[in-house]
Amino acid sequence: MNGQIKSAATITQSDFKGLSKLKDANGERFAAGEVFYDGEHVLSFGERLFAVPIRLLVPRFNIGY
């Protein structure tokens, strides 16, 4: 899988520009591409392209705030 991280609560199709090129260049060898973002929901942005909340990647720790 391939991924990138975006520090924003919103995401658009243009955020997948690089992953789309990588997907097109690699065909079936491209398993999936994810953009991790500061949002709430997993969203599909086309075949094998997903926006994933960063909180699903990094567990929340109680550090006293």
What are the pLDDT tens digits along the chain (65 aa)?
A: 666 677 778 899 999 999 999 999 999 999 999 998 888 899 999 999 999 988 887 766 544 54
Q: Which residues of 8-46 are buried (b: 16+ CB within 10 A; e: fewer)?
A: eeebeeebbeebbeebeeeeeebeebbbbbebeeeeebe
The residue among 37, 64, 31 whose CA lies nearest residue 53 is 37
The pLDDT value recorded for residue 65 is 42
Q: How many residues does the chain have?
A: 65
Predicted local confidence at residue 7, as pLDDT? 73
- pLDDT given at position 1: 62
Tell me how far apart the 2 most distant CA atoms of the chain are, in Å: 46
Taking the whole predicted model, whether its pTM rises above 0.85 is answered as: no
